C-alpha cells in the first residue's frame, strides 16, 4: 500500500538554456550534458551552480544523432551510441573539460591505440574521442559508478570494457579502455543494462535478469585457460522442449497470428539458475599473471506478462528504467579525484526496474529480496532512484516516492540494529508518495546531487493551452528564459532543472505534518516520523556527509527523530512498543529528559503505555551513571506502583534511584507485600529501613526468614549488595552493614550469586577488596572466607583449580610472613589440610610454595607433602634425612607400602648406612632410625637378599641380631 502525503520535496525550478530540442541528457559531477535531437549532432555542456543555475560551458559535435548517452563519474568521461549512415558507433569523450577553456583541438583514436610520448603536451589541451568498434551494433550502455568500467549491450551479448589509466610520463596520465570480457547470452536482445561493482542487470521488454561476475582463484598453470571459458550453467539439453518454464523458443509458423503470453516468473538467489538463459564468458584481454578469471552467479530472474497492468491488457507493457544503486560504507572518504572514489567500500546494492504502472525495488547485495513495490496512479514514462527518493515521470506528473534503501543498508552496516541498543524503521514499511507535481507532457528525467533534470514536451493540442495563464509549481527565473528566443516557433518543449529541498527542510515539514496525528496516537504518526528518520539516515550514510555544511544539523535532526519515535512508541499502544528503548538510547536523551517529555507535571493519574514502562524498566535495571532527582525518583516510584507494582523491589535497587525517599518506598512496598510477598521484597524493605537508620525495622525484616533463604534472596536482585559506577563494582550500604553484623550471610549470599552466574570471580575479588578497604596487594580475610566457602560448593574444575591456587598462595603468604588474619576466619580448618586433598594440582602450586623452602619445619612438611603427591618418594626421603632424620622412618611407615615398599631397602636403608658411616656415634637419631629400618627389612626380605644388603665394613655385633631374626623367620615359615 502506498500512502499519499502532500509535502514539498521540490524547490525552485529553472529552464536549461538549450539552443536546440534535447534528445537525450545525462548528468555528471557538476555538469549537465544535452544531446540535441534530429540533425543537431551536437552535445551541449552546462555547469550546474548553486540553486540550479546553468551556465553554458560549450558544446562539441558528434558523429551523428545520439541514441544513448551516459556519463561516468569515475574517469569523468562521456560515452555515447551515435548513428550515421544507418550504422551505430560507440564513442567515449575524454578530457572534454578542456573545451570550456577555449580549446577546440580534438583527437580521435581507436581504443587500445598506443600513444607516443611526443603527444604528451598536446593531449593535455585537447579532447580525446575514443572509438570502440564492435562486431554487432551497440544497443545500450552503462558505466560502473565504482570504477568507471563500461558495459555495452548488443544482440545476444554484453561487452565489458575496463577503464585503464595509462601513464605516459610523470606529468601525464591518459584514460583508455581495454575490452576484457564478452558475455554471450542466447536469444536475448537487451533493451537496457545497468552495471555496478561487477553486478549486471539486463532488461528486455518483459524480462529482468541480474547477474554477478565473481572472481575465480586461478593457479599459474591455468592462466591460459582463462582466455576462453564457459559459465557453470550449461545450455538446455537437446531432445525436446520443456512444456513449462520461462525458456524462449521460436514459435511455429502457424502460431504467428496469435499472441502467446507465458506465465509470470520470479526466481531469487540460487533458484534464478533455473531461468534457462545460458551465458558463456569469453575473456578478450591478453592472458598474464594478473589476468582475472570470472564465473557467473545468477541473482534474480523475473518475467512479466503484458496483462499485469491494473488497467487490463496492454500491448505497450514494457520494462523501463533499470538501475543499480550502490550504497557505500559510512565514513568512506570521497574527494573529486577518481583515485579516492575507487577506494570507496561498497556496503549494499539495490536494483530498480519498472513497468508502466508499477515499479519494483530489490536488494541484491548480501541477500536478494524484494523490498518495495510502487503503484503509480497513471502510466509512467521513466523513473530514477536515489538513496532518498524514487522520482517517477508519468503522463502528467512528476511523482516523488520514499524508498527503503537506507533501512536495508543500515542493517547491512550495523549488527546492533533491531536490538535493544539500536533500531531503524523496517525495510517492509509501506512506502509513501510525498508529492505529485503537475507538469504538461513530462517525457524524461535524470538526477544528480540535489537536482532533477526534467524534459517536458507538450503535444500540439496542448501548446495553446500551455501558453494561457496557469498555476505553476514555482516561478521560472526571467534570466533563464531569454536564451530561448530561437526556439519559440518550435513545438512546446522545456528542459527544467528542479532543485530538491534540503534534507533538513523536508525533515522539518514531515515532523510538522506528523503533529496532526499526535493527539490521536495512530500508526500514521509513527509512519511519517519513520519516513523522516529514514530521510535523515540516508543523508548521513551518503559518502559526502562528513564534508557537508549540514553535518551537525543532520546529526541533531537524527537524534531528534529518534526522540520523536521514542515518544510515539512510548505513548501508542502498539505491538512494537519495545522500540521505545533503542530509539531513546539513540536520541541521547537522559532519563530525566524523557520523563519530562512524557510525564505530566500536574499531580494527576496518567495512563502509562507498555513502551514507556519497558523503557523505564530496562533503563533502571542497567548500570547508568545518571541519578534521578528526589522528585523524579518518587515519580518513577508512583509510575511503577500504578503500572507494574511487582517491579518495585527491582527498580528501587537501581543506582538511578539513590535519591528516592525511603519512607515513601517502604509504604509502597508494604502495599505490594499484601498482594505478592517475596524474599526480595523483604530484603528491599530492610535496605530502605537501613537507609533511614531504622535498625529496629531492619532487624524485624531480616528475622522474617532464615539466613539460607535470605542468602538465596539476593540472587533475585544482586544490586542489593553491589552496584556499578562507570564499570567499577561498588558495595552498597546493605553490604557494608552485613560485613559488620552478619559476615557469614554476606559470604553465603556472594557464593550464591557466583553459583547462579550473577557475579564473576574477579568481580567478587573487587567487591570484597573495596568492601574491606584493602589495597590491591593485600587479601582481606572475608575474601579468603569466600574462596573457602566457594570451594565447598563449586563444581567447575577450572574454577576449583583457580580457587585452590589462590587459597594456597594466601596460606603461604601467611606462613612466610607470620601474618595473622585481620578478622576471625569463618572456617577453623587447618591451613595445610588443603595440600593433602586430591583436588589440588600440586604441579601448578609448586612455584607458589617456593618461598616456604626455608621456612623451618612448616616449609619442610609442605614440600614433603608435595613430593609425595607427585610420587617423588625418594626426593621426600632425601629432604627428611637432611633436615629431620627422626621423621624419616615415620614417613616411610606411612607412605612406603605396596608398590613403594621396596624403597625401604633400595633407598632408605642405603642412605641411613651412608649417613651413619659419616657421622659415627655422634648422631643417635640416625642409629635409631637404622635399627628400625633393619627390623622392617629383615621381615620383608629373604635371608640371602638381606645378607647381600649388609655393608662389608659394618660391625657384626650391630647387624647380627637382625640377621638372626631374619633366619628364624625363615625357619618358622
**Between 311 and 160, residue with greater pLDDT:** 160
Mean pLDDT of the chain: 82
In the prediction, which pLDDT does 854 show?
A: 60
Provide the angle, in degrees to the nearest 10, between the axes of the packed helices 924-940 and 956-972: 20
pLDDT of 528 above 80 = yes
Element (H, E) at 687: helix 679-692
In the prediction, which pLDDT does 229 show?
A: 47
Q: Exposure string (b/e) for 27-50, b if CB count within 10 Å is 16 or more?
A: bbeebbbbbbeeebbebbbbbbee
In the prediction, which pLDDT does 795 show?
A: 86
Closest residue by Cα to residue 215 from 281, 117, 140: 281
What is the end-to-end Cα distance of the chain in Å, rounded? 108
Task: List pLDDT tens digits, range 723-764.
Answer: 888 778 899 999 999 999 999 999 999 999 999 999 999 999
Q: What is the pTM of this model?
A: 0.79
Contact by Cβ (8 Å): 34, 446:
no
pLDDT band at 588 (very low <50, low <70, confident <90, very high): very high
pLDDT of 957 above 50 = yes
pLDDT of 654 above 50 = yes
DSSP string, 856-919: HHHHHHHHHHHHHHTT-HHHHHHHHHHH-GGGHHHHHHHH--GGGTTHIIIIIHHHHHHHHHHH
| Helical ranges in 647-678 per DSSP H | 648-652, 662-675
pLDDT of 577 above 90 = yes
* Residue 105 main-chain phi, psi, to 5 deg: -75, 140
Task: List pLDDT tens digits, range 207-217.
Answer: 999 999 998 87
Contact by Cβ (8 Å): 789, 829:
no
Helices (H) and strands (E) in the chain, counts: 32, 34
In the prediction, which pLDDT does 741 show?
A: 93
Task: List pLDDT tens digits, range 73-104.
Answer: 999 999 999 999 889 999 999 888 887 656 67
Strand order in the sheet with 199-203: 192-196, 199-203, 207-216, 293-303, 265-268
Q: How far apart are CA 582 and CA 585, in angstroms?
A: 5
For residue 220, count other CB atoms closer than 10 A to its CB.
7
Q: How far apart are CA 162 and CA 157, in angstroms?
A: 16
pLDDT of 782 above 70 = yes
pLDDT of 547 above 90 = no
3-state secondary structure labels for all residues of 787-843? HHHHHHHCCCHHHHHHHHHHHHHHHHHHHHHCCCCCCCCCCCCCCCHHHHCCCCCHH
In the prediction, which pLDDT does 227 show?
A: 44
In the prediction, which pLDDT does 383 show?
A: 96
In the prediction, which pLDDT does 101 show?
A: 59
Task: List pLDDT tens digits, range 305-349.
Answer: 886 555 544 557 899 999 999 999 875 333 333 334 446 789 999
Pick from 543-547, 635-639, 946-950 the range whose average pLDDT is largest: 635-639
In the prediction, which pLDDT does 971 show?
A: 61
**CA distances for 878 relative to 887, 911, 930, 950, angstroms:** 11, 8, 15, 21
In the prediction, which pLDDT does 852 show?
A: 60
Pick from 312-316, 666-670, 873-877 the range whose average pLDDT is largest: 666-670
In the prediction, which pLDDT does 233 show?
A: 42
Closest residue by Cα to residue 210 from 383, 350, 116: 350
In the prediction, which pLDDT does 309 show?
A: 53
For the segment 29-37, the average pLDDT, to the nearest whole number, is 89
- For strand 140-143 and strand 150-154, is the pairing parallel, antiparallel, or unpaired? antiparallel
**How many residues would you count in the chain?**
973
The x, y and z cell numbers of residue 113, run together, are 591505440
DSSP string, 323-388: EEEEEEPTT----SSHHHHTTPPEEEEEEEEE-SSEEEEEEESSSEEEEEEEE-SS-EEEEEE-SS
Task: List pLDDT tens digits, range 356-397.
Answer: 999 999 999 888 999 999 999 899 999 999 999 999 999 889
The x, y and z cell numbers of residue 23, run together, are 534528445
Q: Exposure string (b/e) for 269-281, b if CB count within 10 Å is 16 or more?
A: eeebeebebbbbb
pLDDT band at 401 (very low <50, low <70, confident <90, very high): very high
Task: List pLDDT tens digits, range 682-723.
Answer: 999 999 999 999 999 999 999 999 999 999 999 999 999 998
Task: List pLDDT tens digits, range 447-477.
Answer: 988 899 999 987 655 544 444 443 433 433 4
Sequence-separated (6 or more) residues with CB below 8 Å from residue 280: 183, 184, 230, 231
The x, y and z cell numbers of residue 646, run together, are 511487582
pLDDT of 479 above 60 = no
DSSP string, 267-334: EEGGGGGGG---EEEEE-SPP-TT--EEEEEEEEEEE--GGGSTTS--TT---EEEEEEEEEPTT---
pLDDT of 666 above 60 = yes
pLDDT of 885 above 50 = yes
In the prediction, which pLDDT does 557 show?
A: 96
- For strand 293-303 and strand 265-268, is the pairing parallel, antiparallel, or unpaired? antiparallel
The x, y and z cell numbers of residue 770, run together, are 573495596
Task: List pLDDT tens digits, range 481-509.
Answer: 334 434 444 557 899 999 999 999 999 99
Percent of the chain residues past pLDDT 70, beyond the cut: 81
In the prediction, which pLDDT does 439 show?
A: 87
pLDDT of 257 above 70 = no
Percent of the chain residues past pLDDT 90, beyond the cut: 47
Residue 158 exposed, middle or buried by CB count within 10 Å (0-12, 13-18, 19+): buried
pLDDT band at 919 (very low <50, low <70, confident <90, very high): confident
Contact by Cβ (8 Å): 302, 266:
yes
In the prediction, which pLDDT does 6 show?
A: 85
Contact by Cβ (8 Å): 836, 865:
yes
pLDDT band at 432 (very low <50, low <70, confident <90, very high): very high
pLDDT of 189 above 60 = yes
pLDDT of 184 above 90 = yes
pLDDT band at 255 (very low <50, low <70, confident <90, very high): very low
Q: How far apart are CA 408 and CA 424, in angstroms?
A: 9
In the prediction, which pLDDT does 695 show?
A: 94
Amino acid at each position: 500500500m502506498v500512502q499519499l502525503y502532500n509535502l514539498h520535496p521540490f524547490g525552485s525550478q529553472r529552464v536549461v538554456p538549450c539552443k536546440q530540442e534535447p534528445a537525450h541528457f545525462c548528468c555528471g559531477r557538476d555538469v549537465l550534458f544535452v544531446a540535441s535531437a534530429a540533425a543537431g549532432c551536437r552535445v551541449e555542456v552546462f555547469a550546474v551552480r548553486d540553486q540550479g543555475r546553468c551556465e553554458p560551458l560549450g558544446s562539441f559535435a558528434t558523429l551523428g544523432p545520439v541514441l544513448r548517452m551516459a556519463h561516468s563519474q569515475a574517469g569523468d568521461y562521456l560515452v555515447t551510441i551515435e548513428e550515421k549512415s544507418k550504422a551505430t558507433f560507440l564513442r567515449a569523450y575524454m578530457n572534454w573539460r578542456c573545451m570550456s577553456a577555449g580549446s577546440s583541438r580534438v583527437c580521435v583514436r581507436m581504443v587500445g591505440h598506443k600513444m607516443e610520448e611526443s603527444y604528451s603536451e598536446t593531449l593535455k589541451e585537447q579532447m580525446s574521442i575514443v572509438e570502440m568498434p564492435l562486431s554487432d551494433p551497440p544497443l545500450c550502455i552503462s558505466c560502473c559508478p565504482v570504477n568507471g568500467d563500461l558495459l555495452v549491450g548488443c544482440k545476444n551479448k554484453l561487452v565489458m570494457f575496463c577503464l585503464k589509466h595509462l601513464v605516459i610520463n610523470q606529468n601525464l596520465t591518459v584514460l583508455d579502455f581495454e575490452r576484457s570480457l564478452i558475455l554471450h547470452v542466447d536469444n536475448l536482445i537487451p533493451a537496457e543494462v545497468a552495471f555496478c561493482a561487477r553486478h549486471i542487470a539486463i532488461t528486455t521488454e518483459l524480462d529482468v535478469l541480474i547477474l554477478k561476475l565473481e572472481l575465480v582463484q586461478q593457479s599459474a598453470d591455468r592462466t591460459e585457460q582463462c582466455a576462453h571459458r564457459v559459465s557453470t550453467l550449461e545450455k538446455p539439453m537437446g531432445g525436446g522442449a520443456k512444456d513449462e518454464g520461462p525458456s524462449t523458443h521460436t514459435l511455429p509458423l502457424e502460431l504467428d497470428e496469435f499472441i502467446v503470453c507465458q506465465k509470470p516468473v520470479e526466481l531469487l538467489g540460487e533458484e534464478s539458475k533455473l531461468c534457462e538463459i545460458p551465458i558463456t564468458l569469453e575473456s578478450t584481454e591478453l592472458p598474464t599473471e594478473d589476468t582475472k578469471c570470472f564465473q557467473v552467479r545468477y541473482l534474480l530472474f523475473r518475467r512479466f506478462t503484458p496483462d499485469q497492468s491494473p488497467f487490463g491488457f496492454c500491448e505497450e507493457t514494457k520494462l523501463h528504467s533499470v538501475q543499480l544503486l550502490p550504497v557505500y560504507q559510512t565514513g568512506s572518504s570521497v574527494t573529486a579525484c577518481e583515485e579516492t572514489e575507487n577506494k570507496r567500500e561498497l556496503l549494499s546494492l539495490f536494483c530498480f526496474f519498472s513497468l508502466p504502472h508499477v515499479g519494483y525495488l530489490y536488494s541484491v547485495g548480501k541477500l536478494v529480496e524484494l523490498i518495495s513495490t510502487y503503484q503509480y496512479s497513471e502510466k509512467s514514462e521513466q523513473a530514477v532512484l536515489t538513496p532518498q527518493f524514487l522520482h517517477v515521470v508519468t503522463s502528467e506528473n512528476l511523482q516523488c516516492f520514499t524508498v527503503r534503501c537506507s533501512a536495508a543498508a543500515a542493517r547491512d552496516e550495523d549488527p546492533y540494529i533491531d536490538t535493544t541498543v539500536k533500531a531503524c524503521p523496517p525495510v517492509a514499511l509501506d512506502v509513501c508518495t510525498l508529492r505529485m507535481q503537475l507538469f504538461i507532457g513530462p517525457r524524461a528525467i535524470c538526477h544528480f546531487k540535489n537536482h532533477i533534470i526534467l524534459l517536458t514536451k507538450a503535444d500540439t493540442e496542448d501548446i495553446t493551452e500551455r501558453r494561457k495563464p496557469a498555476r505553476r509549481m514555482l516561478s521560472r527565473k526571467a534570466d533563464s528564459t531569454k536564451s530561448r528566443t530561437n526556439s519559440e516557433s518550435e513545438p512546446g518543449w522545456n528542459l527544467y532543472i528542479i532543485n530538491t529541498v534540503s534534507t533538513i527542510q523536508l525533515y522539518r515539514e514531515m515532523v510538522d505534518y506528523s503533529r496532526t496525528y499526535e493527539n490521536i496516537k495512530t500508526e500514521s504518526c509513527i509512519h511519517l516520523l519513520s519516513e523522516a528518520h529514514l530521510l535523515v539516515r540516508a543523508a548521513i550514510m551518503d559518502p559526502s556527509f562528513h564534508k557537508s555544511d549540514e553535518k551537525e544539523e543532520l546529526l541533531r535532526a537524527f537524534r531528534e527523530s529518534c526522540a520523536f519515535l521514542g515518544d510515539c512508541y512510548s505513548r501508542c499502544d502498539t505491538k512494537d512498543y519495545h522500540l521505545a528503548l533503542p530509539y531513546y538510547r539513540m536520541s541521547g536523551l537522559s532519563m530525566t529528559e524523557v520523563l519530562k517529555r512524557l510525564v505530566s507535571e500536574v499531580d494527576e493519574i496518567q495512563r502509562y503505555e507498555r513502551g514507556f514502562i519497558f523503557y523505564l524498566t530496562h533503563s533502571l535495571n542497567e548500570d547508568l551513571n545518571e541519578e534521578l532527582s528526589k522528585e523524579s525518583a518518587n515519580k518513577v516510584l508512583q509510575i511503577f506502583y500504578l503500572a507494574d507494582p511487582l517491579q518495585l523491589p527491582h527498580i528501587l535497587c537501581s543506582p538511578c534511584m539513590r535519591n528516592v525517599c525511603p519512607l515513601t518506598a517502604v509504604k509502597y512496598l508494604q502495599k505490594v507485600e499484601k498482594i505478592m510477598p517475596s524474599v526480595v521484597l523483604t530484603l528491599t524493605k530492610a535496605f530502605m529501613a537501613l537507609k533511614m537508620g531504622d535498625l529496629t525495622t531492619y532487624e524485624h525484616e531480616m528475622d522474617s526468614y532464615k539466613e539460607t533463604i535470605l542468602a538465596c534472596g539476593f540472587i533475585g536482585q544482586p544490586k542489593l549488595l553491589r552496584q556499578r559506577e562507570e564499570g567499577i563494582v561498588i558495595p552498597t550500604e546493605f553490604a557494608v552493614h552485613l560485613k559488620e553484623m552478619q559476615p557469614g550471610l554476606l559470604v553465603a549470599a556472594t557464593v550464591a550469586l557466583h553459583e547462579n552466574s550473577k557475579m564473576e570471580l574477579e568481580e567478587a575479588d573487587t567487591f570484597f577488596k573495596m568492601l574491606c578497604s584493602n589495597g590491591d596487594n593485600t587479601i582481606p580475610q572475608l575474601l579468603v572466607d569466600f574462596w573457602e566457602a566457594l570451594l565447598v560448593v563449586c563444581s567447575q574444575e577450572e574454577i576449583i583449580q583457580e580457587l585452590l591456587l589462590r587459597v594456597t598462595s594466601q596460606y603461604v603468604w601467611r606462613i612466610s610472613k607470620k601474618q595473622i588474619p585481620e578478622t576471625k576466619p569463618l572456617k577453623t580448618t587447618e591451613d595445610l589440610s588443603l595440600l593433602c586433598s586430591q583436588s589440588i594440582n600440586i604441579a601448578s602450586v609448586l612455584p607458589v610454595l617456593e618461598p616456604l623452602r626455608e621456612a623451618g619445619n612448616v616449609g619442610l612438611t609442605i614440600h614433603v607433602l608435595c613430593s609425595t603427591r607427585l610420587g617423588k618418594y625418594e626426593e621426600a626421603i632425601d629432604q627428611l634425612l637432611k633436615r629431620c632424620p627422626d621423621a624419616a622412618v615415620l614417613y616411610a611407615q606411612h607412605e612406603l607400602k605396596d608398590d613403594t615398599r621396596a624403597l625401604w631397602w633400595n633407598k632408605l636403608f642405603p642412605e641411613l648406612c651412608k649417613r651413619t658411616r659419616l657421622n659415627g656415634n655422634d648422631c643417635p637419631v640416625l642409629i635409631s632410625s637404622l635399627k628400625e629400618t633393619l627390623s622392617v627389612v629383615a621381615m620383608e626380605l629373604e635371608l640371602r637378599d638381606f645378607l647381600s644388603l649388609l655393608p662389608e665394613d659394618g660391625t657384626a655385633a650391630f647387624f647380627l641380631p637382625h640377621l638372626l631374626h631374619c633366619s628364624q623367620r625363615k625357619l618358622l615359615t
